[in-house]
Amino acid sequence: MNYIKDTLALSGRLIKHNLRSLDTIITVVAMPVMILLAMVYLFGGAIQIDGLQHDEYVQYVLPGILLITIATGSAYTALRINLDKTGGMFDRFRSMPISKSAVLSGHVLASIVFMLTSTTIVLVVGFLIGFRTSASPLEWLYIILLVVGFAIMVTWLSVPFALAASSVDGASAFSYLVLALLFVSSAFAPTNKMPAALEAFAKHQPMTNIIATIRNLFASNSVGADGWLSIVWLIGITLVSWWVGVKIYNRV
Amino acid sequence: MENKIVVKGVNNSFKKNQVLKGVNLTVKSGSIYALLGANGSGKSTLLKIITGLHAMDSGEVFINDLEITHNPRRIRQTFSLNSQTTTTDEILTGFENLQLIAKLRHLPNTDEVADKLLAQFDLTEARDRRVATYSGGMQRRLDIAMSLVGEPEILFLDEPTTGLDPKSRNDLWAAILDLKQRGKTIFLTTQYLEEADQLADQIGFLQNGHIVATGTPAEMKQLGGHSRLQLIFPTTDAIESAQKILLDFNMSVGTDGSLLIDLTDGVTTSLKALTLLSNHDIPISSFQVLAPTLDDTFMQLIKEA
Ligand SMILES: Nc1ncnc2c1ncn2[C@@H]1O[C@H](COP(=O)(O)OP(=O)(O)OP(=O)(O)O)[C@@H](O)[C@H]1O
Ligand SMILES: [Mg+2]
């Protein structure tokens, strides 16, 4: 009971951080929106997607943009965890009679809330510029679960990096790794248009599975093998980074 | 229980640098203990070990008769640590900082507690401003206020008055004495010997990994040497003649040209010296007895090392 109260109090603090720093909001919401607009209005016409009209490119690209929003947000998750470690805030909390893990849980919870809020904003922008979906309530539920799962995964993935880094810059660098994975996936164009070596990688990495699943759900298509592959990837990566993260946390 | 904090044989090394080599000390319930020592002597390290933030290599620490590693959560209920570095949240307001700590301590009336502490530390006017806009001393005051939330039985303060102006320092001293009045136990470190002198019931001096001297402020001052008689003369001629006459005394010349005589025999020595000077008609502008200070002890102990 106290664990939950403490986690809520601590995440409340971090949500205030996110709301009060303008650069956080601008980076995490505006950047994905810019990419979305650029892809749809500038480059979209040049990318040929089988079975889609040029002006329907937004249907193709939006799922990837949602994940990019989450990945961008993780840079701030890492930053805030690292600041608390190096600035002594962790020590203050840990000398108090609260559960040690509530301190980390507070960060995780605030991060997920922030990521989902910014994703929702980007999704709304998508609808405004013509994104349409035929997803049923059940398919929507599936999409939401995947997006939440992705936010949880990326958040936990940032924890070990944030705790191990000795500086703020190092802490947020890892988010470029996730962003790079997203760029080398089917987020913007089908993998079969890529050079062979890149294609082999892009086809089999988790981002492609997850994006394809969300894309198919939005279009009410069957998800095929991508569906369970996404779930396996999400749970697997989350568990590994959770395990490593908690191990490092108990040592710092 | 009489002993609130008991530290037994605590050892700690950072790689090859052995900082603590078997530290022993006890702090009585309801008293103020001041830990002194040069920079880098390991004061902060010891505080971190006692409060469970840093694992020691060997040794034992008891708080309220409980070994700290056995029931850390329950022990943390009893104390609060104010570390040497200011740890306030710059993005929150002063009020929100205090409110957060009050929530985490599960107090029922968080807002009241926060406002009361803001008033006590002269921060009411800055209540709703982000801490980033506070001056260094204001941040330090808020930092200490945060450590007083919920008034735990034991308070660990690592150099609490560093960076405070004289008024804030006096206020904090009053606050610390008030907490003691109400039965709290306080363990502080300080670089200001006057602070230890004013506040402490017991002083410990940490050096080369050990507590090399411990006692009440009065006892500690004795270690620094004797009282001294300071003589001030109107002319340089007078000083020179006085030096000749007082050759048998243990004497030194102060930086201001005054003569300092070690009172090895207390009052008797000063009477002898003054009588001699008066017998030789040497004029004196003024004289006074200087009691030994903690500074003397501090310098003495460091010299002996
Ligand atoms: N995390 C650390 N890693 C390596 N060495 C450390 C660490 N923390 C402290 N030390 C070393 O331990 C020694 C004691 O440091 P500590 O901070 O306890 O001293 P202190 O008495 O509090 O000094 P000050 O009066 O300057 O605050 C120093 O030599 C310091 O360099
Ligand atoms: Mg220190």
Centroid of ligand 1 to alpha carbon of B257 (angstroms): 40
Domains of chain A: which residue ranges? 2-251
- Which chain B residues contact residue A97 at CB under 8 A? 73-74, 76-77, 105
**Alpha carbon of A119: minimum distance to chain B alpha carbons (Å):** 24
Beta carbons of B75 and B52 less than 8 angstroms apart: yes
Residue B301 inside a domain? The answer is no
**A36-50, B175-189, B207-221, B279-293: least confidently modelled range:** A36-50
Task: State the amino acid at position B94 in one-letter form.
Answer: G
Which ligand is the nearest neighbour of the Cα of B14? Answer: 1
Query: If we measure between CA atoms, which residue out of A170, A227, A228, A207 comes closest to residue A71?
Result: A207
Point out which residues pair with B13 in neighbouring strands. B18
Would B210 be classed as within a structural domain? yes
**Quick one: which of A169, A212, A251, A165 has its CA closest to A64?**
A212
Distances B257 to A210, B231, B233, B261, B269 between C-alpha atoms, Å: 85, 9, 8, 13, 21
Residue B85 covered by a domain: no
CA of A198 to nearest chain B CA: how many angstroms apart? 44
pLDDT, one tens digit per residue, over A195-244 is: 888 888 888 889 899 999 999 999 888 888 888 999 999 999 999 999 99
Contact B73 A91 (CB under 8 A): no
Residue A95 CA, distance from chain mean position: 32
Domain ranges, residue B193: 3-78+153-222
CA of B298 to the centre of ligand 1 (A): 19
The domain boundary, picked from B170, B189, B222, lies at: B222
Residues B101 and B240 in one domain: no
Dihedral (CA of B248, B249, B250, B254) sign? negative
Asked whether residue B110 falls in the same domain as residue B232, the answer is no
Name the pLDDT band for B305 (thresholds 50, 70, 90). Answer: low
Residues B49, B163 within the same domain = yes
Structural domains of chain B, count: 3
Last residue of a domain, one of B193, B222, B251: B222
Instruction: Identify the pLDDT of residue B11.
Output: 93
* Mean pLDDT, rounded, for A9-33: 90
Q: Quick one: angle between helices A2-20 and A57-86, nearest 10?
A: 110
Q: Tell me the CATH number at B248.
A: 3.30.70
Its pTM stands at 0.86
| Confidence band of B187 (pLDDT split at 50, 70, 90) | very high
The CATH number assigned to the domain holding B16 equals 3.40.50.300
Same domain? B283 vs B137 = no
Find the farthest-apart pair of alpha carbons in chain B and give their distance in angstroms, rounded.
Answer: 76
Tokens of B1: 């229980």
Inter-chain contact B91–A10, Cβ cutoff 8 Å?
no
Q: Does residue B10 sit within a domain?
A: yes
Give which of B72, B172, B151 is closest to B109, Cα–Cα.
Answer: B151
**Is the domain of B165 the same as that of B51?**
yes
For B83-113, the pLDDT digits (tens) are 999 999 999 999 999 999 999 999 999 999 9
**CB-nearest partner of B87 from A6, A13, A87:** A87
